[in-house]
Structure 1
Amino acid sequence: MSETCNHDCSSCGTTCGEDTRKSGDMFEKPNDLSTIRHTIAVVSGKGGVGKSMVTGLLSVAMARKGRHVGIMDADITGPSIPKMFGVTGEVRGSQAGAFPVASAGGIDVVSMNLFLESNTDPVVWRGPVISGVVKQFWSDIIWNDVDFLFIDMPPGTGDVPLTVMQSIKLDGIIIVTSPQELVSMIVSKAVKMASTMKVPILGLVENMSYFECPDCGKHHHIFGESHLDNIAKEYNLDILGRIPMKPELAAKCDAGQIETVEDIYLHEAAEKLLELENKK
């Protein structure tokens, strides 16, 4: 049995990750009271590229388009979404399910930090337990009338990304990268994992793409020249945005005010997501 499969391949005659996803048999059902129209996972092959910030900016972009947005923070051991949105308080509910906590701008958020006594308490769990919690965020949370649910994945291609791709019917993933040459190899891993799991890739977003001098407006490539065009061409993927290094953007995230950011640099990504509405 392959690690990317939850059945005995030798007895069913199906190649792991192949057409089993198309039947829907492997997918977990959301809560009976949930209505989720589109589910998008935001992934990165490695940590430190700003995946959570991109998730937050994508959510803000779609909320500004008049869509009701939810964020499932699947980075259980390193949650940062509540901090960016200034969301505090506890997730509450009943036997029917629990409700996410709404941000000031009406974006619904569920994160492990909303279940902890202190947001600095570590989550010291093994992979299977973490994967189980992610499934509960899908099946036990009531996502009420959500147009776009973004899943902020932990970095890499480990337990949680595998669990999400196997268990949740995704409309696609967005891969976050940065300009360093090393990252092109890491992006390739994420692309190949998505291909193996038959999950559509909507495109690439490059974070920390450049620094714009506030005095002369010149772009400085702090981490070297971007390799994004080459990666996109190699895998025939769309480039959905390039986010510069901006101290004020980081400051807004640290202050829990990401919803007040003026320019989010993800207009192409927002248009790509709106195209999904025309396909259903």
Structure 2
Amino acid sequence: MGLFSKNDKSLVSTLQTLMKKATFPTSSSPLLSLINVDRARIKKEILELDISAEIPCLHLKTELVNYFSDLFSNTITFSAIDLTIAIKVKRINQSEKLTQVKQVIMVASGKGGVGKSTTSVNLALALAHGGAKVGLLDADIYGPSLPTMVGAVKAKPVSQDGKLLDPIIAHGLHTMSLGFLVDENDATVWRGPMASRALGQLIYETQWPTLDYLVVDMPPGTGDIQLTMSSDVPVSGAVVVTTPQNLALKDAQKGISMFDKVKVPVIGVIENMSYHECDNCGHHSHLFGEEGGKALAANAKVELVGHLPLDGNIGHDVDNGRPTLVSQPDSSAAKAYLDIAVRCAINLNKTNQSIPSLIIGE
């Protein structure tokens, strides 16, 4: 096999041939639809492999090394793999609006109290943990909670040019919320059109850097803010958060139906508060029902991208401004968020097309 140490292109071609029928780990997606082999050579029996990935997967480096070792071992001789991963997220957003953002993800729910905002923050952190550049927008004009959840209650955006506001950077995320601009104890008493205009200002009058993903934490329901986002923003896909409870499932179905009507693809359903794990014995108790999210996803023909536990620590973490991905990065809940982020990124990739703007009422 010494041939390959002198001929990188030949080795790259061989590796790509071996990858053709393989799928990405934990997924049914073809491996080569998500990664590209940029460089390969064998030096001192070490396979030096550089790949670029269209999904944030830096945290899966060990799993990928093991996966490639098994995949290549019958054809190529090497003692170990030295893997380098570059994250190159595909641009889905082809609109002239928000050109610095490659993909926009809405996180929505049919009703309040299902943990949507907590999920939004941890999903954004999980994407960033995988190597993506991520922004987080709080679209809840009436009840902004983002400043508290990221520990930036006292932060105030500044403007360098007198026109656009710089986002607040918290835990590596570029964030923006009306909560940064008004007193935390003030009530926002606005009619729908005023709230929609305020949302537009938050989106388009923020100096977002180049971002792979902008995660948008939506208010619950199917009202003006949802229609504004769906019609005026180049949304790439939506994630719907629910609990297994029947009432939550019914409202989540309404949310999915709304996205279908405005032609925003639903890239996944997340079932939150799926179970409670006993601290002593590890037994899972399904306090709000079982497999409701699975049934909802199957009925709507979308993927159930993950289950999250009913865990008081998760709520405690965001109450203290240090979400689970920050405060407990090695916990089972953090792993669940990371798995969800990968599945969402893969499903966004499957859309393969920019999402056309749809003006409601035209």
Q: TM-score range by the shorter chain?
A: 0.7 to 0.9
Q: 1:78 and 2:149 equivalent?
A: no
Distance 1:50 1:177, change over 3 A: same
Contact persistence 1:206–1:241 (CA under 8 A): yes
Equivalent residues, number: 250
Determine which structure has more spread, i.e. the larger CA radius of gyration. 2
For residue 216 of structure 2, the aligned residue among 138, 142, 151 is 151
Q: 1:108 and 2:174 equivalent?
A: yes
Q: In structure 2, what residue type is equivalent to 1:111? A: S
Contact persistence 2:244–2:271 (CA under 8 A): yes
2:164 aligns with 97
Q: 1:160 and 2:217 equivalent?
A: no
Tell me by how many angstroms 1:196 deviates: 0.4
1:239 aligns with 304
Tell me by how many angstroms 1:111 deviates: 0.6
User: What TM-score do you get using the length of structure 2 for normalisation?
Assistant: 0.66
Question: 2:164 & 2:234 partners in 1: Cα distance?
Answer: 20
Divergent runs of 4+, >2 A: 27-30, 259-264, 266-269, 272-280
SS at match of 1:266: helix
Tell me by how many angstroms 1:188 deviates: 1.4
Question: 2:214 & 2:286 partners in 1: Cα distance?
Answer: 33
2:244 aligns with 179
Question: 1:149 & 1:255 partners in 2: Cα distance?
Answer: 23
254-263 or 135-144, which deviates more: 254-263
Contact persistence 1:75–1:154 (CA under 8 A): yes
Question: 2:283 & 2:192 partners in 1: Cα distance?
Answer: 45
Alignment of 1:217-236 (within 5 A): 217-236=282-301
1:29 aligns with 97
Aligned identity (percent) is: 34
SS at match of 1:53: helix
Tell me by how many angstroms 1:158 deviates: 0.3
SS at match of 1:59: helix
Q: 1:190 and 2:272 equivalent?
A: no
Tell me by how many angstroms 1:261 deviates: 3.1
SS at match of 2:215: strand
SS at match of 1:270: helix
Alignment of 1:37-56 (within 5 A): 37-56=102-121
Contact persistence 1:180–1:226 (CA under 8 A): no
Question: 2:97 & 2:113 partners in 1: Cα distance?
Answer: 32
Distance 1:187 1:277, change over 3 A: closer
Contact persistence 2:123–2:338 (CA under 8 A): no
Q: In structure 2, what residue type is equivalent to 1:64? A: H
Question: 1:251 & 1:152 partners in 2: Cα distance?
Answer: 19
SS at match of 2:179: helix
Q: In structure 2, what residue type is equivalent to 1:29? A: K
Question: 2:136 & 2:295 partners in 1: Cα distance?
Answer: 31
Tell me by how many angstroms 1:28 deviates: 7.9
2:127 aligns with 62
SS at match of 1:245: coil
Contact persistence 1:28–1:139 (CA under 8 A): no
Q: 1:261 and 2:332 equivalent?
A: no
Contact persistence 1:28–1:168 (CA under 8 A): no
| Consecutive unaligned residues in structure 1, runs of 5 or more | 1-23
1:3 aligns with none
Residues 134-153 of structure 1 show CA distances to partners (whole Å, capped at 9, x for unaligned) of 11111111110111101111
Residues 226-270 of structure 1 show CA distances to partners (whole Å, capped at 9, x for unaligned) of 311111111111111111111221111111001223232123422
2:341 aligns with 270
Distance 1:191 1:85, change over 3 A: same
Tell me by how many angstroms 1:69 deviates: 0.9
Question: 2:110 & 2:302 partners in 1: Cα distance?
Answer: 16
Question: 1:147 & 1:232 partners in 2: Cα distance?
Answer: 26
SS at match of 1:75: coil
Question: 1:125 & 1:169 partners in 2: Cα distance?
Answer: 25
> Comparing both chains, which one has the higher relative contact order based on Cα–Cα distances under 8 Å and sequence gaps of 6 or more?
1
Question: 1:213 & 1:78 partners in 2: Cα distance?
Answer: 33
Question: 2:181 & 2:215 partners in 1: Cα distance?
Answer: 19
Q: In structure 2, what residue type is equivalent to 1:100? A: P
Contact persistence 1:41–1:172 (CA under 8 A): yes
